[in-house]
Amino acid sequence: MPLGDTGRSVDRRAEHVAIAGLCIQLAVFGCLLGVALWAQSDALLAGARFAAAGLPIWFVLWLLFKQIRRVAAEALETEELRQARAGGAGTAIFELDEESLLLEENRLRWMIRWVLPVVTILVAVYLLGGQFVGWRWTLAGAFGTAGVRSAEQPTLMMWLAVACCFLCFLFGRYTVALARLPQWHLLHAGAGLAAGTALVCLGLALALGLATTMSWAEALVAYAIRVAMFVLGLEFAVNLILDQYRPRAAGVVPRPAFDSRLAGLITEPGEIARSIAEAVNYQFGFEVSKTWFYRLLQRWFLPLVVLMLLAIFVLSSIVVVNAGEQAVVERFGRPWRAAEGVGSRVRLLSPGLHLKWPYPIDVVHRSPVEQIQEVTVGELEGDAAEAEKAQREKRPIVWAETHQFVPEMMVLVASPQLVELTEEVRGEPAEGERVAPEAAESVAVGLLMFGVKIHFRVRDLEAYLYNYQKPEKLLEEIAYQAVSDLAAQEDVDDVMGAGRARFDATLRERIQSRLDAHKCGLEVIFAGTGSLHPPAKEGVAEAFLSVISAETRMGANINAARGDAQRMLTEVAGTEERARRLDTAIERWQRLTSDASADADQAAQARRTVDALLLGDPAQGIAPMSGKAAALIADARARTSRQVADAAVKTLLFKAQVAAYNASRTLFEVRKQLEVFEGLDTVRKILFVGQVDDVIIEYDTGEQLGLDQILSEGVRERTGGK
């Protein structure tokens, strides 16, 4: 646009548009800043920061258009002066040069040379340097919700953002239409900022509308606005540098460096379409953009898009609740209730087809109340890819091997046996020996890796949706605490052995009681320890397995010894209980017998108790004892009876022999002698009556005599047997 163009009208409309743009930009900035501080929303605050960047631009545009109008008026006056000179008017008062009279034009050149670059630098510094000042969160945590505050009433804030978006969009479109005129092309810079502000408000409206279902939407839009500000500031800085090397036509107002080319893609998307059409024509070699199909698509594309959006808007008024689900409808952020009143219950939609107002007036929240859901209590230390691979391959998990792809948590478990073992090994301290406090006390705890799986379902949908933002996270934290508290009260051997079922039942009851106290609407169906073992690091699990093996062998030996003891006691007394009673009775009898000061009656009673247990006592209802002891007693009794009977028989026989001897001594002696000979039944016997002094008796013993015996017998025969 030439600086001294006198054919141009001195219309003030451009100034009015710049003033209106400044007021609208200021109103949008104030509205976004006010609601951001009231709702505590970082996304709205980022939108206010973006809107603030347009304030100096609209102000500078107003100054430029005002100065351009003055330049036009000055040019008109100069033209009238020139015509007056040409008509022969006096020149006394016009002795100065015409160039020295163009003060407004010189001032405009000064503004173009200094004001526009300075404003561009200030805006670029604000957009770039503002990335490091005044933000509560950093770009390092992109796409995360940590540190980014969300709006307290997102639905109300959404409608305010929609109003700002609509206002900026209408004004931006109006300004773009005016900027197509050559004398008002500077308005294109303000139109780009207005369109960018409208796009930012649209993003805020969408994020606030999705905030009830997607908590990360506001954080994502806040990050996007901050990145857009950085890119826009970088573009202004690059444009300012490149403008120093672009050729300029004399007397023409250049395009300002703060006129964003990226924002122009939003304000005039038709330029993009024309560029694409020209590229397509060039690639295909003929005018594709002049075909009937392209023109039909170009004419009806926008109506089709509007019709599609309208259809989506209408279809959003239909709610389909699937089987096993329940849904809650919120109207402007407030749930439907079965009856009017503060204490009334929320209206729950059962499975089926329902109608509501279109989105975003009514928003549906649904939950599978009959579906059993699962949460695993434990920390996954390994890589997610490794965990997925192990799950796919069904890899077995061994205690002694280190595995980091299974969710587990390390907790303290009671170990009372450690104290007993320490005291048994240490023994009693010697006289005068001092025991250190750390040695006198043993830490009665052990470490175990727990992996607990919890199955739950939604029991109260109203409490599930409105009492807590993340009930599943609350369940997980409660389960962590319950597992830690309960494990510290249990014995490690009991938890890993027969007491695991009881531990799981107690754990489920504790978790459910705490959930009921918090009123989060969840019901625990099952809570069980899936993986339970000592830590595999540093050989702890291997040592634990060695201890278990040693304890197993010890238990086997103890049980074998107990079995042998029971067998021996049963063999001895018939029953183990009878044998132990007999042992106790014998010990008591022996103690009373060996004690000289003991009562004789007590000793006698103890002896009778022993006899009753040994031999039985029908009066006391004690049956005779069985087993080896009974057999020995019976054998002793038999031997005793036999010996007594033999002694009695011998006594009677001796008495009869004494009586016979007294009656006839000679007869008794002869009879005894005959009984002696009667016993020699294998030897020949010869009876001589009369004198037998010189009788030689020969008898055959049936034995072969040796030479010495034969000689000795012959000598006896010759000597007459003397």
Residues 71 and 129 in one domain: yes
Residues 377 and 334 in one domain: no
Residue 281 belongs to some domain of the structure: no
Matching residue, tokens 């710049």: 18
Residues 353 and 261 in one domain: no
Q: Taking residues 308-318, what's their average pLDDT? A: 82
Residues 226 and 351 in one domain: no
Backbone φ and ψ of 344, nearest 5°? -75, 155
Q: Taking residues 682-704, what's their average pLDDT? A: 61
Domain boundary among 561, 593, 626: 626
Residues 68 and 164 in one domain: yes
Share of the chain above pLDDT 70, in %: 69
Residues 179 and 240 in one domain: yes
Residues 45 and 180 in one domain: yes
Matching residue, tokens 């501080």: 37
Residue 677 belongs to some domain of the structure: no
CA distances from 529 to 371, 375, 513, 516, 595 (A): 21, 12, 19, 22, 61
Q: Taking residues 13-25, what's their average pLDDT? A: 92
Residues 66 and 205 in one domain: yes
User: String of b and e for 466-479 (b: at least 16 CB within 10 Å)?
Assistant: eebeebeebbbebb
Q: Could you tell me the pLDDT band of residue 181, with boundaries at 50, 70 and 90?
A: confident
Residue 292 belongs to some domain of the structure: no
- What is the overall mean pLDDT for the chain? 75
Matching residue, tokens 């805006």: 123
CATH number at residue 404: 3.30.479.30
Backbone φ and ψ of 463, nearest 5°? -65, -35
- Position 480 pLDDT exceeds 90: no
Q: Taking residues 392-398, what's their average pLDDT? A: 57
Residues 65 and 197 in one domain: yes
Residue 671 belongs to some domain of the structure: no
Rounded distance between C-alpha atoms, residue 371 and residue 353, angstroms = 20
Rounded distance between C-alpha atoms, residue 176 and residue 635, angstroms = 130
- Residue 392 CA, chain-centre distance (Å), reads 20
Residues 600 and 463 in one domain: no
Domain boundary among 232, 267, 302: 267
Residue 324 belongs to some domain of the structure: yes
Residue 649 belongs to some domain of the structure: no
Tens of pLDDT, residues 338-347: 655 445 677 7
Which of 466-470, 567-571, 685-689 is least confident?
Answer: 685-689
pLDDT value, residue 706? 55
Please report, in angstroms and rounded to a whole number, the separation of the first and last CA atoms in the chain: 187
Residue 618 belongs to some domain of the structure: yes
Domain boundary among 347, 367, 387: 367
Q: Taking residues 516-527, what's their average pLDDT? A: 86
For the chain, what is the domain count? 4
Rounded distance between C-alpha atoms, residue 159 and residue 168, angstroms = 14
Tens of pLDDT, residues 422-452: 444 444 544 544 444 444 444 455 667 777 8
Residues 529 and 560 in one domain: no
8 A C-beta contact, residue 522 and residue 458: yes
Residue 564 belongs to some domain of the structure: yes
Tens of pLDDT, residues 205-258: 888 887 766 777 888 888 889 889 989 999 989 988 888 777 666 666 778 888
pLDDT value, residue 688? 62
Residues 204 and 81 in one domain: yes
Matching residue, tokens 């001032």: 107
Domain enclosing residue 591, as ranges: 549-626
Tens of pLDDT, residues 267-311: 665 555 566 666 666 666 666 667 776 677 667 776 777 788 888
Rounded distance between C-alpha atoms, residue 185 and residue 68, angstroms = 13
